Structure 1
Amino acid sequence: MEKTTDNHLLKFCVEVILQVLKLTDNKIKQLREIGDLSGAEILEKDVIEKYEKLYGGLTGEGIKEFKEEELKGIREHIENIMIKNNLSKEYIESQVALREKLKGDSGAEVIKRFFQYEKKELEKTKYDLLEKVSKVLDEEERVSMLMKNAIQEEEQIEYIYQLQPIREKYRELESKIFKVQDKLDLLKKKLDSEWYYEIYGTVSKDEMLKTYNEVMKKD
């Protein structure tokens, strides 16, 4: 029996996983707000990673290999997940319908575009920092060459003093680049994983923008 990727059973299973990921993501944010970083890390490792793999398995290319009867077997596992997370069948069905209704005009599109914009801005920041690093390295090479060609010891010492702030500047820029790269890696993961923005697929675009603007005003 052939399987189609738009059948209702598959959408139901995916919705359950997205709801669990959304609930867990909100819990992680709450834990971080109160400073419980270890609790947040435990949830990320024990829950997020597990359900992220499940989501990938239900939405990736491999799903094309599933037959309808195999999906029914997965459904049993999904039902256990629903019980564990207090998610009713009626609620999931309502969210599946809402996601279909808002498709192309939901909060998922807002968050995805935000991630893409932030990624673009960080890439620009990284490029600017690398340009500065290049200039610092050129200056270091210039002073190092002068020091190498200096005859008097006093001259060599003077160039050594000149090199210190140059190398400090390099370390400062290097640290900034590492931080920017970490943020870029996280954004790439969020965009590639998809669920980070798809969890908002049951929220309207207008509602998502309103919430975002309210948060920005508080900041």
Structure 2
Amino acid sequence: MEITKESAKLQLIGKELALHMLKILNNQYNRLEDESKKEKIQTELIPIYENLYIQFNEEIKKEDAVITEEEIKKIAKPIYKIIKENNLSEDNLLKEAIKRNELHGNSGAEIVKKMMVNQIKAIESKVESLVKDGTVLLKKELEYEEALKEEISAEEEDRLNIDLDTIKTGLDLITDRMAEMKTAKRKIENDLQKRWKYEIFGTLTKEELLKE
């Protein structure tokens, strides 16, 4: 079935509404200090609009999707309910959607996405450096442990044990730091995969983004 003018309009409004609400919630989350309130936004509110965003990007957007007028009305009902409950304007959402399309490829979304990609590269570089540092310490650890097996003076044994403790502390710090880097990288990769984390800036020019 050919996608009608009504379904095309709904696609624009639905996606823009999802991104509009996600941007508001994302800003609220970043400003809040209360962990319980942040958790509520993260686990209860954001998923609602993430699902809405996914729906309008993976289902309605498919050119071969069969969408009946009845299905359009069914999808439209919750959309317009959210618009009304949040005192939003359908016309403004359409204007934002049009602006997003006009700025595509040259908007704040591209800058944020590039920043996220660069953050991942920076993390990978840090991890590589940590691996090298860890390798050096592991070699020293093995050397000192082998040295302790030899017949050495009590004074030399004490010195080696002190050095070994320092090395082990260094290795523990590297392990902890690498775990932090892995978590940070996974989060950014997840944000990139979700897409909305950078697409919420798609209605801003690069200059406007820098002022935010």
Q: What band does the TM-score fall into relative to the shorter chain? A: 0.7 to 0.9
Partner of 1:186: 187
Partner of 2:43: 45
Unmatched 5+ stretches in structure 1: 213-219
Percent of aligned pairs with the same residue? 27
Structure 1's 61 and 12: CA in aligned 2 closer, same or farther, altered over 3 A? Answer: closer
Are the equivalent residues in 2 in contact too, given 1:102–1:202 (CA < 8 A)?
yes
With structure 1 as the length reference, what TM-score do the two structures score? 0.84
Are the equivalent residues in 1 in contact too, given 2:134–2:174 (CA < 8 A)?
yes
Equivalent runs, 1:117-156 vs 2, <5 Å: 117-147=118-148, 149-151=149-151, 154=154, 156=157
- Report whether the alignment pairs 1:68 with 2:51: no
Structure 1's 151 and 71: CA in aligned 2 closer, same or farther, altered over 3 A? Answer: farther
Are the equivalent residues in 2 in contact too, given 1:140–1:166 (CA < 8 A)?
yes
Are the equivalent residues in 2 in contact too, given 1:10–1:71 (CA < 8 A)?
no
The Cα of 1:151 is off from its aligned counterpart by 3.5
- What is the total number of aligned residue pairs between the two structures? 206
Equivalent position SS for 2:88: coil
Post-superposition CA distance 1:175-194 (Å, at most 9, x none): 21122222111111111110
Partner of 1:15: 16
With structure 2 as the length reference, what TM-score do the two structures score? 0.87
Structure 1's 152 and 138: CA in aligned 2 closer, same or farther, altered over 3 A? Answer: closer
Unmatched 5+ stretches in structure 2: none
The Cα of 1:86 is off from its aligned counterpart by 2.3
Tell me how far apart the structure 1 counterparts of residues 201 and 193 of structure 2 sit (CA, whole Å).
16
Are the equivalent residues in 2 in contact too, given 1:107–1:200 (CA < 8 A)?
yes
Partner of 1:107: 108
Are the equivalent residues in 1 in contact too, given 2:116–2:188 (CA < 8 A)?
yes
Tell me how far apart the structure 2 counterparts of residues 87 and 177 of structure 1 sit (CA, whole Å).
45
